[in-house]
Amino acid sequence: MSRSLKFGLIVFPRITQLDMTGPLQVFSSLPGAEVHLLWKSLEPVASDTVLSITPTLTFADCPQLDVICMPGGYGTDALMADDEVLDFLRRQAAGASFITSVCTGSLVLGAAGLLKGYRAATHWSAKEVLPVFGADVSSERVCIDRNRITGGGITAGIDLGLTVVAELAGREAAETIQLRLEYNPAPPFNAGSPDTAPPAVLAVMEERIKTARQTRMALAREAAARMA
């Protein structure tokens, strides 16, 4: 590479940390990469686990990025109406090579108006929200539509990171990182998708997230109305 590629991942309260740390590990493994964790301030933010994440750069101090990545988590509900976050994404998207997301991070891109007319992926529980923002739903684990690269839920972040690296630096670079990470998944159960999970397991999860799903849809409609 003739210059350092600049990657930026948004961190925010109630982020699902694996949405961010998956692609973070991949991007940081690319020789010469410059990787930033971005938020409004440099104060640590609480994830959806006991782990807190310390941003490395504020929005105000962020240079133009080559890749902007919006992770997901329940905290994205609030971000769909957060003008500071949405404006930052729009500004960066104007000059970035790739605008990317993991999990429900795609909903924030949608609320920023960055997915209208694009195919996009998200967590299986949020697929019904994407059309609210004018996006076409993809069931791919990683969806590429022009310079939008969006990933499915949580663990798809590693796949997204490798896909982005392959687009920027070639397949061999991505495969070298995959080997370094020993990313060779062989899950002990085949319950990682609504299509393969046992019906009883799916029913438990559907009931558990029902209220959050309804709330998310209502907030997305409000965000879409504001954008219009």
Residue 32 banded pLDDT, cuts 50, 70, 90: very high
Lowest average pLDDT, out of 3-7, 12-16, 197-201, 203-207, goes to 3-7
CB 124 within 8 A of CB 156: no
Q: Which domains does the chain have, with CATH numbers?
A: 6-227 (3.40.50.880)
Rounded distance, CA 85 to CA 75, Å? 12
Does pLDDT of 64 surpass 70? yes
Q: Which amino acid is present at 12?
A: F
The pLDDT assigned to 3 comes to: 78
Does pLDDT of 45 surpass 60? yes
Q: How far is CA 68 from the centre of its chain?
A: 9
Helix (H) or strand (E) holding 107: helix 105-111
* 3-state SS assignment for residue 147: coil
Per DSSP, what are the bridge partners of residue 101? Answer: 70, 150
CB 124 within 8 A of CB 152: yes
DSSP 48: S
Rounded distance, CA 146 to CA 143, Å? 10
User: Which residues are designated catalytic?
Assistant: 103
pLDDT tens digits for range 181-209:
999 999 999 999 999 999 999 999 999 99
pLDDT tens digits for range 97-137:
999 999 999 999 999 999 999 999 999 999 999 999 999 99
Average pLDDT over residues 51-59: 98
Strands 148-151, 142-145: pairing is: antiparallel
> Chain-wide mean pLDDT for the chain?
97
**Does the model's pTM come out above 0.95?**
yes
